[in-house]
Amino acid sequence: MDLTQLRAAFCGRLHTEAGEMAPFLTDWRGKWTGRAIAVAQPDTAADVAAVLRWCHLHRVPVVPQGGNTGLSGGATPDTSGQALLLSLARLKRVRAVDPLNHTLEVEAGVTLQQVQDAAQEAGCLFPMSLAAEGSCTIGGNLATNAGGVQVLRYGNARELCLGLEVVTAEGELWNGLRGLRKDNTGYDLRDLFIGSEGTLGVITAAVLKLFPMPAARVAAFVAVATPEQAVGLLQLAQARLGPGLSAFELMSDTCIGLVEKHVDAARLPLAERSPWYVLLEVSQHGAGGQDEAHALAALEALLEIALDRGLATDAALSASLAQFRALWALREDISESQGAEGKTIKHDISLPISHIADFIATTDAAIAREFPGLRLVVFGHLGDGNLHYNLSPPAERSRPEDAAAFVALEGPLNRLVHDAVSARGGSISAEHGLGVLRRDESARYKSPIELKLMRAIKAALDPLNLMNPGKLLDLEAKETPR
Ligand SMILES: Cc1cc2nc3c(=O)[nH]c(=O)nc-3n(C[C@H](O)[C@H](O)[C@H](O)COP(=O)(O)OP(=O)(O)OC[C@H]3O[C@@H](n4cnc5c(N)ncnc54)[C@H](O)[C@@H]3O)c2cc1C
């Protein structure tokens, strides 16, 4: 295809050499690799619009990409080599801060960490936090409706966004950059684009909600015997701490064992091992000078009751920033430590919290029965009902043919886990999106009417199916009513 007109249409970079394109064509984990006619890196929203107008004119599919850290294959093109990879990474301006309105306007390619830093410079907090924050972009966070570790208190990406600027599939620039907390003026277009994984349009900028900076944050690492106890502890913590409870994470001893094995500095902060642990965080606002002491006192009082009621067996509190970070590192290093063990099979599920303990007990038992020897690596944002219900092959099997045999179990394991999730009214993608990884799985569990409505939205906003085709929704599939 002749790219001369495209090259002339915008000011950013256009890569066509294989070596230049390669980093954009494989995802962060190296699970998917695709091909593209070119990689476009525009510098401004107007340039993005110019690129999309060209794509629309020439019927070229577009795959938007931010930091390329997504875990569902949504930012990788297919292998046909027909699509243009559109990287938003050079849209990097922090456009405006409004400390009185508690809002920040940023372009799509600003990384999550840069957003947090810009908020901090204005004396405010942008609370979204996840392990990929140094690389993922706010555009990608919104396109996937990302979660992370502060959702319990502040909500997902959707709850943190007030307005969007979007380039449509036809290359028109929609300015929806409203900094309003109330706006009942018809269909909410912003909410359509959030979580649409690049299949409806390209997010070029956003107005984000800011919050007062907490005066103190303290954490506790708590031993609990069972997920049931962890749920009981969550209920108690919510009742005692109210909005002061800013994170509540669950992890099994297997997870912590992997972190100790692969991260030199990692140490269990408790004298005895326990089958499960909870990491909980308390944020204190404006108690005046005694903030840290107040937060610690609240946490100590909670843990005393929890120990008394048999909801916990032991606990360690962070008495310094270094200890706070060390406790959080135990949780945040789980994914990478599991990756260091070889192939993984991951499930990013959410359930009503009342069903979590039963789900874990029943599904663990079914897996032990039907797939003996597999290691369960279960952790997640219990406060949001979100588990990363992951599996690793048996420790003693490390030959290449063992890895292949393990990967072949993905389909049957997905069926077992996702059926158990669906039976309890849960979701098979809590925060990572569908991409290509869970597109067909999701269609299995959604009702025909829900799929029909989703296809109608796609057809209305992208009638030529040029926006990230093949991701999130299969337009060809025919449902058989369940
Ligand atoms: C170590 C690690 C930890 C993680 N932890 C979490 C976690 O706790 N919670 C969580 O939710 N996720 C987590 N993730 C997943 C990932 O970081 C998020 O999905 C993130 O939001 C992706 O942002 P990105 O900029 O990298 O997007 P990409 O990977 O580049 O793209 C993701 C999807 O969004 C689309 N897209 C990207 N930018 C735009 C845009 N500007 N306009 C329209 N569509 C766009 C792409 O086409 C693709 O479908 C983690 C990932 C890693 C590697």
Separation of 135 CA from ligand 1 center, angstroms? 9
What pLDDT was estimated at residue 126?
A: 97
Separation of 73 CA from ligand 1 center, angstroms? 10
Which residue, judged by its Cα, is nearest atom 2 of ligand 1?
132
- Cα 196 to Cα 66: distance, rounded to the nearest angstrom: 14
- Cα 74 to Cα 467: distance, rounded to the nearest angstrom: 11
- Cα 361 to Cα 232: distance, rounded to the nearest angstrom: 16
Closest approach atom of ligand 1 to CA 142: 21
Separation of 466 CA from ligand 1 center, angstroms? 20
Q: What is the DSSP letter of 213?
A: P
What pLDDT was estimated at residue 285?
A: 79
Q: What is the pLDDT of residues 146-159, one digit of tens each?
A: 999 999 999 999 99
In sequence order, which residues have a C-beta less than 8 Å from that of residue 205 and are 6 or more positions away? Answer: 45, 91, 95, 105, 106, 107, 108, 164, 165, 177
Amino acid at site 318? S
Question: Alpha carbon of 21 to those of 16, 52, 108, 241, 287: distances in Å?
Answer: 7, 19, 20, 50, 52
14 touches 40 (CB < 8 A):
yes
For residue 171, the Cα-to-chain-centroid distance in whole angstroms is 28
Which residue, judged by its Cα, is nearest atom 27 of ligand 1?
140
Give, for ligand 1, the residue of 52, 78, 129, 130 to mutate: max count of ligand atoms closer than 8 Å to Cβ. 130
Closest approach atom of ligand 1 to CA 193: 43
- Cα 421 to Cα 445: distance, rounded to the nearest angstrom: 10
Classify strands 348-350 and 386-392 as parallel, antiparallel or unpaired: antiparallel
62 touches 82 (CB < 8 A):
no
Which residue, judged by its Cα, is nearest atom 8 of ligand 1?
148
- Cα 125 to Cα 144: distance, rounded to the nearest angstrom: 21
Separation of 141 CA from ligand 1 center, angstroms? 5
68 touches 109 (CB < 8 A):
no
In sequence order, which residues have a C-beta less than 8 Å from that of residue 156 and are 6 or more positions away? Answer: 145, 146, 147, 431
DSSP string, 222-288: EEESSHHHHHHHHHHHHHHHGGGEEEEEEEEHHHHHHHHHH-TT---SSSS--SEEEEEEEEE---S
Closest approach atom of ligand 1 to CA 70: 29
Closest approach atom of ligand 1 to CA 28: 53
- Closest to 375 measured CA to CA, from 419, 329, 336, 343: 343
- Residues within 6 Å of ligand 1 by CB: 28, 63-71, 74-75, 88, 108, 130-132, 136-137, 139-141, 143-144, 146-148, 197-198, 202-203, 335, 431-432, 435, 468, 471
Flag residues of the chain having pLDDT under 70.
287-289, 397-398, 478-482
Helix, strand, coil in percent for the chain, rounding step 5? 40, 20, 40
Give, for ligand 1, the residue of 24, 28, 44, 71 to mutate: max count of ligand atoms closer than 8 Å to Cβ. 71
For residue 161, the cross-strand partners are: 208
Separation of 426 CA from ligand 1 center, angstroms? 22
- Which tokens hold the place of 344? 């993984």
Separation of 299 CA from ligand 1 center, angstroms? 33
Closest approach atom of ligand 1 to CA 109: 41
Separation of 138 CA from ligand 1 center, angstroms? 9
DSSP string, 374-392: PEEEEEEEGGGTEEEEEEE
Separation of 468 CA from ligand 1 center, angstroms? 14
Which residue, judged by its Cα, is nearest atom 20 of ligand 1?
141
Closest approach atom of ligand 1 to CA 204: 41
Q: What is the DSSP letter of 335?
A: H
- Cα 183 to Cα 200: distance, rounded to the nearest angstrom: 22
Q: Which of helix, strand or coil describes residue 294?
A: helix
Q: Please, what is the end-to-end C-alpha distance for the chain in angstroms?
A: 44
What pLDDT was estimated at residue 401?
A: 78
- Cα 431 to Cα 349: distance, rounded to the nearest angstrom: 8
Which residue, judged by its Cα, is nearest atom 44 of ligand 1?
198
What pLDDT was estimated at residue 402?
A: 81
211 touches 76 (CB < 8 A):
no
186 touches 417 (CB < 8 A):
no
DSSP string, 430-479: SSS--TTTTHHHHHHHS-HHHHHHHHHHHHHH-TT--BSTTSS--SS---
Closest approach atom of ligand 1 to CA 141: 21
Q: Which of helix, strand or coil describes residue 180?
A: coil
Number of C-alpha atoms within 13 angstroms, CB side, residue 282? Answer: 27
Amino acid at site 125? L
- Cα 259 to Cα 267: distance, rounded to the nearest angstrom: 9
- Cα 279 to Cα 328: distance, rounded to the nearest angstrom: 8
In sequence order, which residues have a C-beta less than 8 Å from that of residue 235 and are 6 or more positions away? Answer: none
Give, for ligand 1, the residue of 26, 55, 115, 136 to mutate: max count of ligand atoms closer than 8 Å to Cβ. 136
Closest approach atom of ligand 1 to CA 335: 1
What pLDDT was estimated at residue 397?
A: 67
DSSP string, 10-26: -SSEEE-SHHHHGGGSB
Which residue, judged by its Cα, is nearest atom 19 of ligand 1?
70
For residue 477, the Cα-to-chain-centroid distance in whole angstroms is 27
Separation of 433 CA from ligand 1 center, angstroms? 9
Closest approach atom of ligand 1 to CA 146: 11
